[in-house]
Structure 1
Amino acid sequence: MLKILVVEDNAELAQAYRLALSQRGHEVQTAATGAAGAHAALADRPDVVLLDLMLPDIDGFSVCRHIRQESDVPIIMLTARDDDGDVIGGLDSGADDYVVKPVSPGVLEARIRAVMRSRQSGLGPAEPPANSLSFGDLRVDLGSLVVTRGDEQLELSPNELRLLVVLLEHQGQVLSREQLLERAWGTAAAGDLRLVNAAVQRLRVKIEQDPADPQLLHTVRGFGYRLG
Structure 2
Amino acid sequence: MIHGIERNNAVAQPATILLVDDEQEIIKLMEIYFGNEGYRVLTASDGLEALEQLKKEQIDLIILDVMMPNMDGIEACMKIREEQKMPIIMLSAKSMDIDKITGLSIGADDYVTKPFNPLELVARAKSQLRRYYTFNEGREHKEHEWVIDDLVINTDTHEVWVDEQPVRLTPREFAVLELLARHQGSVLSMEQIYRQVWKEEFMESNNTVMVHIRKIREKIEVDSKHPKFIQTVWGVGYKMIKP
TM-score by length of 1: 0.52
Secondary structure of the corresponding residue to residue 135 of structure 2: coil
Tell me if 1:94 matches 2:107. Answer: yes
Unaligned segments of structure 2, at least 5 residues:
3-14, 137-146, 149-243
Task: Indicate the residue corresponding to 1:80 in structure 2.
Answer: 93
- Conserved? CA contact 2:20–2:50, under 8 Å: yes
Could you list the per-position Cα deviations for residues 63-110 of structure 1 after superposition, in whole angstroms to 9, with x for gaps in the alignment? 000001011111100121111111111011111111112222211111
Listed one character per residue, the Cα deviations across residues 153-197 of structure 1 (whole Å, up to 9, x for unaligned) are: xxxxxxxxxxxxxxxxxxxxxxxxxxxxxxxxxxxxxxxxxxxxx
More helix by share: 1
The answer to whether residue 69 in structure 2 is matched with residue 56 in structure 1 is yes
Q: Please list every run of at least 4 consecutive aligned residues from structure 1 whose deviation after the TM superposition is greater than 3 angstroms.
A: none
Distance 1:41 1:89 in 2: 23
Residues 1:42 and 1:84: Cα distance change in structure 2 (over 3 Å): farther
Partner of 2:134: 121
Question: Does structure 2 conserve the Cα–Cα contact (< 8 Å) formed by 1:53 and 1:78?
Answer: yes
Other structure's SS at 1:64 match: helix
**How many Å apart are 1:119 and its aligned residue?**
1.6
Q: Which amino acid aligns with 2:70?
A: D
RMSD (CA atoms): 1.8
> 1:15-34 maps to which residues of 2 (within 5 A)?
15-34=28-47
Please give the alpha-carbon distance, in whole angstroms, between the structure 2 residues aligned to 1:105 and 1:41.
24
* Structure 1 counterpart SS, 2:62: strand
- Report the identity percentage: 36
Letter in 2 for 1:36: E
SS at match of 2:63: strand
Cα distance in 1 for partners of 2:99, 2:34 equals: 26
Deviation track 1:35-58 (CA, whole Å, cap 9, x = no partner) reads 001221343121100000000111
Q: Distance in 2 between matches of 1:42 and 1:73?
A: 14
State the distance in 2 between where 1:118 and 1:21 align: 18
Residue in 1 aligned with 2:17? Answer: 4
Give how far 1:120 is off.
Answer: 2.0
* Equivalent in the alignment of 2:122: 109
Distance 2:19 2:86 in 1: 13
SS of corresponding position for 1:69: coil
* 2:51 aligned residue: 38
Which one-letter code corresponds to 2:28 in the other structure? Q
2:22–2:45 Cα contact (<8 Å) kept: yes
CA contact 2:86–2:132 (8 Å) conserved in 1 = no
CA distance, structure 2, for counterparts of residue 38 and residue 63 of structure 1: 7
Contact 1:62 1:93 in 2 (8 A): no
Look up the SS of the partner of 1:115 in the other structure.
helix
- In the alignment, what sits opposite 2:78? 65
Q: Which shows bigger deviation, 113-122 or 26-35?
A: 113-122
In the comparison of the two structures, how many residue pairs are matched? 125
CA contact (8 A) 1:81 1:100 kept: yes
